[in-house]
Amino acid sequence: MIALAGTIGAGKTSLTKLLADHLHSQAFYESVDDNKILPLFYKNPKKYGFLLQIYFLNKRIDEIKESYSNDLNVLDRSIFEDALLFKLNADMGRATQTESDIYSSLLANMMEELPEQPHQKAPNLLITIQVSFDTMLKRIKKRGRSYEQIANDPSLYNYYKNLNERYQEWYKQYDQSPKMLIDGDEYDFVEDPHAAKKVLQMIDQKLVDLNLK
């Protein structure tokens, strides 16, 4: 399987669709629009942060299992990012350290319960999309989810800024599988068909290098 990673507004959903169509495989999308907990989290992160992470963990484990059905299925978020997100919430006082520790332990235990080879727990390839903070903010504003807007909650500015910075460090430290980095500012595959074509070519070459295609 291929898993995408990146901050809010990086373009994971767009690239997931492009890549799954390109590879004639299946796309698995993060549950957002039908997620009743997410808007509650933005209103009261301390109350709903832990519940939201458990919701996502349950969904992602199911997606990993389902992705075994076909080679090179594409997941629009990696389960390995979740600890980063919840740790940030704990550091910013939006969740407790105890909740963060319990979540990390639960994640490790659930990963242990996934089937062993021939199925693997990490993706064959992790593709991280990196965008500037300005690009991140523009895309969040453009997609228009009210609970994500800084205009409605100015405290989100620092949350988004910290999140974007931590993703850069997270990618450097990630070592669970082969990985590659896409510069979402240089290659605006969301808006530019030529950039999308180039990104798909880059991914194709990486898959060939890894003997996956």
Per-residue model confidence as pLDDT tens digits over 88-105: 888 888 888 899 889 889
Q: How far, CA to CA in Å, does 19 sit from each of 11, 73, 130, 190? A: 12, 9, 17, 12
Catalytic residue among 76, 134, 175, 204: 76
197 is in an annotated binding site: no
pTM of full prediction above 0.75: yes
The question of whether 76 is a catalytic residue gets the answer yes
12 is in an annotated binding site: yes
CATH assignment of the domain containing 177: 3.40.50.300
Residue 43 marked in a binding site: no
**Tens-digit pLDDT profile for residues 104-159:** 899 888 888 776 644 566 889 999 999 999 999 999 999 888 889 999 999 899 99
Number of domains in the chain: 1
Cα gap 128→76, rounded to integer Å = 10
Residue 142 marked in a binding site: yes
Range(s) of the domain holding residue 91:
2-209
